[in-house]
A and B are shown apart, each in its own frame.
Chain A
């Protein structure tokens, strides 16, 4: 079955546990899972959200009240961390915080867009060290977890809090609109009739640690992760899925597992013609055609810098509850290579889960989780 960890340097196990989850489907991990389980979607048409006043479907957190969506979401995820993790861990000398965001406080322009992030984290979480910020397009969230693992394996920290966050903005919506990348219906990843993405906003936090949570809270093992560039185009994915193919291979090798033992894939699945086609080609090249796979973007929208984190949290929830969630929007196979996209919820115990992500700049990243004993 594999899964004996290959982590080195005296660190034999790395654990991921829930830090918090703020999305269009709720403000807690539990609330989010209940809504996903019952098939709810946080993606709705938002009136006049387009450059020409089109009503684009977006994953908007409707409970926000402040003018600055990003900072309000950041404050909320900090509050969740304080409640779930506690001040003592958050401000510990052996704790690091890593933020993953593509545009941060974009509405602050022409002032700096990361200043408020540092200020809010400092004020609310009182960390012992300056947080690290990763801004690497849509693979940022997965890279944050991989980087957290690097620091703990090197014995620089015992705990790393990874926070993925992006807020909705005209900047983002107009940008994807200009690429003709937005779907006029909620996105349909891997489906024959997919026409594009639905942007969303969210924040998620995962605690990465060399110890299981002291309060016995649910956790999974992180076995390994990697990234690989397509070396092909700055905004379109490789037609052969080369970068993703290489990343999954590297990740499996670092995790000391046999790729064929993976029993669930949380794909990137944005709903564009090209991304989903590319992913199916990569999975096919690795003979992963029959492994249950979903894209979670139909629940929240494509949350960019938050995506990797909130989708790993969702994967952990599926592992915790022995329930695979359907891939919203999927009705009929729409990729050249056949893959096993979940069209219904499925009760199944998962031992090994693969998370993949791809993004602008030719980036591809992946990581593998194992159910903790």
Chain B
């Protein structure tokens, strides 16, 4: 699971063009939206792309994303459950 999380962090940085961030900069449980990384609803759309392209998981309704994308922890848990 921790390997998945490290991979996810790298993918988030790549997908969202967070060029100046490193994997070490993102804590597993840090909030990704609002505070924390300051991501917003546009970035949530990128997570939808990320899930589909890298893990084959499709989220049809963008509004479901809020809970799933809260942190790397919640994202990893969702992927493990739905792959």
Give A residues with C-beta under 8 Å from B.
178-180, 233, 235-236
| A86→B41 CA distance, assembly (Å) | 49
Report whether A178 and B45 are in contact in the complex, using a CB–CB cutoff of 8 Å. yes
Report whether A236 and B45 are in contact in the complex, using a CB–CB cutoff of 8 Å. no
| A179→B49 CA distance, assembly (Å) | 11
Known: A178-B45, A179-B42, A180-B45. 7 other contacts (CB 8 A): A178-B49, A179-B45, A180-B62, A233-B40, A235-B42, A236-B40, A236-B41
Name which residue of chain B comes closest to A235, CB basis. B42
Per DSSP, chain A at the interface is loop
Residues of B within 8 A of A179 (CB): 42, 45
Q: How far is the CB of A107 from chain B (nearest CB, A)?
A: 23
Per DSSP, chain B at the interface is helix
| A62→B62 CA distance, assembly (Å) | 34
Residues of B within 8 A of A236 (CB): 40-41
Residues of A within 8 A of B62 (CB): 180
Name which residue of chain B comes closest to A274, CB basis. B41
Q: How far is the CB of B44 from chain A (nearest CB, A)?
A: 10
Residues of B within 8 A of A235 (CB): 42
Name which residue of chain A comes closest to B49, CB basis. A178
| A178→B49 CA distance, assembly (Å) | 9
| A206→B42 CA distance, assembly (Å) | 35
Residues of B within 8 A of A233 (CB): 40
Residues of B within 8 A of A178 (CB): 45, 49
Residues of A within 8 A of B49 (CB): 178
| A274→B49 CA distance, assembly (Å) | 22
Q: How far is the CB of B46 from chain A (nearest CB, A)?
A: 9
Q: How far is the CB of B52 from chain A (nearest CB, A)?
A: 12
Between-chain CB contacts (< 8 Å), 10 pairs: A178-B45, A178-B49, A179-B42, A179-B45, A180-B45, A180-B62, A233-B40, A235-B42, A236-B40, A236-B41
Residues of B within 8 A of A180 (CB): 45, 62
| A233→B62 CA distance, assembly (Å) | 19
Q: How far is the CB of A184 from chain B (nearest CB, A)?
A: 14
| A235→B40 CA distance, assembly (Å) | 10
| A235→B45 CA distance, assembly (Å) | 13
Name which residue of chain B comes closest to A233, CB basis. B40
Name which residue of chain B comes closest to A178, CB basis. B45
Name which residue of chain B comes closest to A234, CB basis. B42
| A233→B41 CA distance, assembly (Å) | 10
